[in-house]
Amino acid sequence: MLRVTLRGVRAHAVRFLLSVLAVALGIAFVAGTFSLRTMLGSTFDGIVEASAPADAYVRGANEVAASATGVGETRNPFPVELVDQVSGVDGVRLALPEVSGTVVLVGADGTAVQSTQAPSFGMAFDERDPSLTIVEGRAPAAADEVALESATLDSSGLTIGDRTRLVVAGEVREVEVVGDAAAGGPMAGATIVLMDSATAMADFAPDGTIASIAVYAAADVSQQTLVANLSEALPGLPDGAGTTAVTGDDLRADLQEDIGEMLGFVTTFLLIFAVIALFVGGFLIANTFAMSVRQRVREFALLRAVGASPAQVFGVVVGQAAVVGLAGSAFGVLGGLGLVALLRKVLAGVGMDLTSDIPLSTSTVVGCLVLGTVVSAVASAFPARTAALVAPVEAMRGEISVRERSLRARFVVGAAMVVAGAAGVVAAALQPDSKVAESALGLGAVLVLVGVLVASPTLARAVLRVMAAPFVALLKPIGKLAHGNVTRNPRRTANTAGALMIGMALVGAVSVIAATAQASVASVVESSTDADLVLRSATFTIPGGAAEDVAALPEVGDTVPVAFTYAGVSPAPGVTPTPEDTGGVAGVAPGALGSTLMVDVTSGDLGTLDDDTALVNSNNAGDGWAVGDTVVVQTATSTRELTVGAVFESRVLGSSVVVSDEVLDEIAPGEAQLLDTVFVDAAPGVSQADLRAAVTAAVAPYVVVSVQDQDEFVAQIAGQVDQLLVILYALLGLSLVIAVLGIVNTLALSVIERTREIGLLRAVGLGRLQLAGTITVESVLTALFGTVVGLVVGVGLASVLPQVYADEGLDTLVVPWGGLVTMVVLALVVGVLAALWPAIRAARMRPLDAIATE
C-alpha cells in the first residue's frame, strides 16, 4: 500500500500543493522560533562571558532584591578599600573593582547614541583588565577623556580625536574620544563608554562603596581553590564583613539561567502563534482531503474491490497526508532559517548584532518534521474515514458520490457548546471578583469559538442567504449561481471559511482589547495630572541636571520630579521582604500627590508623607493595607520601617510605595535611583508657548529629554499599546495568509470537481467573464462569511473584558468600528484575489472537453 500511497501523491500533486505551503508556513514559524531562541541564547551567553570573565567574584553576602532587569540581583555594597585587601589573598593575581553607571553619549550627528532597547553605560577602564583591550588610540586618563567600545564607536559615527558630549551623573560634560576598545565579545547593541578609574569612581560610586570585585587567579590556581581562599580570608579582612565569594563559572551560570527564563517567555509567546497557524492550516488540509476523497470515490471503491481493507484505504489517505506534512515541514524548516536570517539583518541594522551562525539543532529539525507530519495526518483522519467506508460496489456505478449525514446533530452539539460557553462568559462578567472568573471567561470563550465552528455549516446557509442577496439582485445570473454553489455543500463552505473565521475572531478580539486599553490608559492619565508640561526620556532616565535647570527657569512655577528605585517591599503589613518581594519605591515631594499628581485616596491623608511615613499604592502593593500599618523597604544600602499614612490607588504611578525625597535619597543614593518623569507648571502669567520654548531650550544639551504637553504625554503612554498591537497583527497575519490559501485551494478543487457542470453551463450560453464572475462571487461570499462571523465572535467575547478586568484598569469599552469595517472591506479584496487563479482556470476550459470529463 506504500506504493499506492506515493503514486496517489504524485498523481494529485497540484491538489496538495497549497496544503504543503500551509504546513510550510506554520512549521517555518516553529523552526524560526526555536532557532531565534537558540541564537538569542548564544548571543547573551557570549555577552555574559565577555562581561563577567573573571575567575571569581567578591560581592555582598545579602541578596536584597531582584534586579529590575530580571538578570542577577541587588546585593549589599561594601567599601572599595576591600579591593586592595583582596589583592593580598593567596592565589589572587589581580583584583579589580567593578564600577559602572548610566550615561548618554552624543554621537557625531548630535543625537544620543542608542540602538533598540540596549542599555547605555559608562564603566571604569583599567589597563590591567584582561577583558578590555585598547585596539587603537590610548586609554582615557582624565575626566574629559573617554574610550569607546568598537561597536559603539562605529554606531556613534565618531572617530578618535573627536570631541563630543557625555551626560553623566546628571551633568553635561565635554569629552574627547581617545581610544577604541575591544570588549571581548558581542554586546548586542549596548552603548559602552570607558572612563578612567578615578572619574568613574567619582561619578558612579561617590560614597566609596562598590557592588562587586572581579578576581583573577594566579597561575595553576583553580576557581574552586581561589574561592576557598577568599571565603577563608574575607571574614578576617578589615572591610570583608558582609561579603562572599563565588566562582566565575557559577556566576555566569546564574546569569545565563536568568536570561534563559526571560527568553523562555519570548519563545512561548511566539510558539502560541505558531500553534494557531498550524491549527488554521489543519482546516486547509482537512478540507483539501475531504474534497479529494469526494473526487476519488471510484478510485477508493476499486481499491476495496480488489481486496484492500477499510484500514488499508484509511492508511492510504492518512499516509498521503503524512507525505504532504513531511514535505511541507521540510520546506518549513528551510523557511524558518530564512526568517531568522532576515530578522538578524533587521536587528543588525538597528545596532543589535546576534551571533554569526544560525543554529539548527537535530532536535529542532526532527521535532518540526514530526509536528508537521502529525498535524497533517490528524487533519486528514475524518476524510480518510469517509474513504475507508466506501463500498466496493460503488466502483460499478456510473455516478457515485459520498453520502453525507444530516447536519442536525452537528448543529445541536455546536449550539449547546455556544450556550455553555456564553453562560461561562456571562458568569465571569456578572461576578468579576470571583476566583474562577478568569477561568470561566477563558473556557467560555474557547467553547463559544469551537461551538460556532461546529455549527457553522448550518449557520452558513442562513447567513449566506442574507449576504448573497445584493449579489443575487445586482449581478444576474452569476449572483444566483454563486449563492447556489456556496450553499449546496455547506460543510465545504464552512470548513473553508473556518480558518478565516478563527483568524478574524482573534483579530477582532485584539482590536477591541487594544482600543479599550488605549482609551482606559488615556482616561487614567488625563485624570491623574493637570501639569502644563511633562519631561520624559528616551532612555527612561532623566539626568538630574536637566530637572535642576528646568526648575531654575523664571518661566517655571512648580516642578514635581518623580524618582524611583527597585527595592524589597513588604508583601503584607509588618512582614520583612525577601528578594522575591521586589517592588517600585517612588520619591516625591510632600504635597505633590493630590495636587500635580492626582490619586484616589482609599484611606488616610496624603499630607502625612514625611521622613517616617509612607503612602501605599494598593494597585501594586495589593489589598490588606491600612493606615498605621508598618511597611518595610529594603535596599542594598538601607532598611527602613515606615508607618503607612495613607492608602491610595493609581495606575500612572507604577510604584508600590511612595516615600519622601529625603527617604529615597537615603535608601537609594546617586545612581541607585532613576528620575523617571518631571511634571512642570508655568509661573503665573507665563503662556504655554513661552513655557515650552524655555523648557525645550533648557533640556536641549541633555539630548535624550523630550518635552510634552498633556495631550502628547497621554498619546505616548497610550501609544505603547500600539507597539504591541503591531506585533500581534503581524503574527496573526500568518494565520490569515493560510486562511486565504484555504479559499484558493477550495475554489481550485471545486473547479476540478465541477468540471462537467462548468462545461454544461458554458454550453448553454454562460460566457467566460460570467463564469469567472461566478467563482469570484463564491470566493467573496466565503471570505465575507468567515470574516463577519469571526469578527462578531471576537468582538462579542472581547467586549466582556472591561467587566472582568475593570479593577486592572481596563474599564472603558471601545469598539473600533472603523477598523472592523476595514476588515470587512479587506475580506472583499481577499475574496477577489483568492478567486483569480481558479476563475482564470475555469474560464479557459473548453466546454466540450469539460462535458466529456468523467
Residues 272 and 366 in one domain: yes
Confidence of residue 65 (pLDDT cuts 50, 70, 90): low
Identify which of 499, 506, 504 has the alpha carbon closest to the alpha carbon of residue 743. Answer: 499
Confidence of residue 335 (pLDDT cuts 50, 70, 90): confident
Confidence of residue 24 (pLDDT cuts 50, 70, 90): confident
Phi-psi region of 317 (alpha: psi -120 to 50; beta: other; left: phi over 0): alpha
How many structural domains compose the chain? 4
CA–CA distance, 807 with 391 (Å, rounded to integer): 61
Residues 334 and 288 in one domain: yes
Please provide the average confidence, as pLDDT, over all residues in the chain.
83
Q: Which of 673, 692, 708 is the last residue of a domain?
A: 708
CA–CA distance, 272 with 348 (Å, rounded to integer): 26
Q: What confidence score (pLDDT) does residue 116 get?
A: 55
Residues 312 and 371 in one domain: yes
Long-range contacts of 817-825 (CB under 8 A, 24+ apart): 819/511, 819/515, 820/508, 820/511, 820/791, 820/795, 823/504, 823/507, 823/508, 823/787, 823/791, 824/784, 824/787, 824/788, 824/791
Q: Which of 247, 277, 292 is the last residue of a domain?
A: 247
Least confident range from 154-158, 356-360, 706-710: namely 356-360
Residues 81 and 224 in one domain: yes
Whether 433 is covered by a domain: the verdict is no
- Mean pLDDT along residues 88-95: 92
Confidence of residue 543 (pLDDT cuts 50, 70, 90): confident
278 or 405, which is more confident?
Answer: 278
Least confident range from 175-189, 447-461, 615-629, 660-674: namely 175-189
Q: What confidence score (pLDDT) does residue 853 get?
A: 63
Residues 202 and 253 in one domain: no
Residues 135 and 219 in one domain: yes
**pLDDT above 70 for 450:** yes
pLDDT in tens, 142-154: 999 999 988 888 8
State the pTM of this model. Answer: 0.72
Percent of the chain with pLDDT strictly greater than 90? 20
Q: What confidence score (pLDDT) does residue 55 get?
A: 93
Residues 232 and 294 in one domain: no
Whether 437 is covered by a domain: the verdict is no
pLDDT in tens, 203-226: 888 888 888 999 999 988 999 999
547 or 118, which is more confident?
Answer: 547
Q: Which of 685, 708, 731 is the last residue of a domain?
A: 708
Whether 409 is covered by a domain: the verdict is no
Residues 771 and 846 in one domain: yes
Residues 58 and 48 in one domain: no
Confidence of residue 400 (pLDDT cuts 50, 70, 90): very low
Whether 582 is covered by a domain: the verdict is yes
- Mean pLDDT along residues 345-362: 66
278 or 482, which is more confident?
Answer: 482
Whether 413 is covered by a domain: the verdict is no
Confidence of residue 395 (pLDDT cuts 50, 70, 90): low
Q: What confidence score (pLDDT) does residue 14 get?
A: 63
Residue 245 DSSP one-character state: E
Bridge partners (DSSP) listed for residue 212: 59
Long-range contacts of 4-11 (CB under 8 A, 24+ apart): 4/303, 4/316, 5/315, 5/316, 5/319, 5/320, 5/323, 6/323, 8/299, 8/316, 8/320, 9/320, 9/323, 9/324
Q: β-strands 100-105, 163-168: how paired?
A: antiparallel
- Mean pLDDT along residues 264-290: 75
Question: Kindly report the CA angle at 571 between 568 and 572, in degrees rounded to 5?
Answer: 135
**pLDDT above 70 for 394:** no
- Mean pLDDT along residues 115-141: 84
Least confident range from 148-162, 317-331, 722-736: namely 722-736
Q: What confidence score (pLDDT) does residue 495 get?
A: 79
Residue 692's domain spans which residues?
Answer: 533-708
Q: What confidence score (pLDDT) does residue 345 get?
A: 75
Q: What confidence score (pLDDT) does residue 545 get?
A: 86
Confidence of residue 69 (pLDDT cuts 50, 70, 90): low
pLDDT in tens, 187-197: 666 788 999 99
- Mean pLDDT along residues 494-522: 83
- Cell numbers 581610544 correspond to what residue? 179
Residues 58 and 195 in one domain: yes
**pLDDT above 60 for 590:** yes
- Mean pLDDT along residues 21-38: 79
Least confident range from 113-122, 535-544, 772-781, 840-849: namely 113-122
pLDDT in tens, 742-774: 777 777 777 776 777 788 888 878 888 888 888
Whether 305 is covered by a domain: the verdict is yes
26 or 367, which is more confident?
Answer: 367
Q: What confidence score (pLDDT) does residue 621 get?
A: 83
pLDDT in tens, 805-851: 776 667 778 888 888 888 888 888 888 888 888 888 888 888 777 67
**CB neighbour list of residue 505: distance below 8 Å, 6 or more residues apart:** 449, 790, 791, 793, 794, 797
**pLDDT above 70 for 492:** yes
| Whether the Cβ atoms of residue 178 and residue 142 lie closer than 8 Å to each other | no
Confidence of residue 403 (pLDDT cuts 50, 70, 90): low
Whether 418 is covered by a domain: the verdict is no
Residues 851 and 729 in one domain: yes
Whether 851 is covered by a domain: the verdict is yes
Percent of the chain with pLDDT strictly greater than 70? 90
Residues 226 and 319 in one domain: no
Q: What confidence score (pLDDT) does residue 398 get?
A: 45
Confidence of residue 179 (pLDDT cuts 50, 70, 90): very high
Q: What confidence score (pLDDT) does residue 690 get?
A: 92
- Mean pLDDT along residues 726-741: 71
**pLDDT above 70 for 646:** yes
CA–CA distance, 304 with 310 (Å, rounded to integer): 7
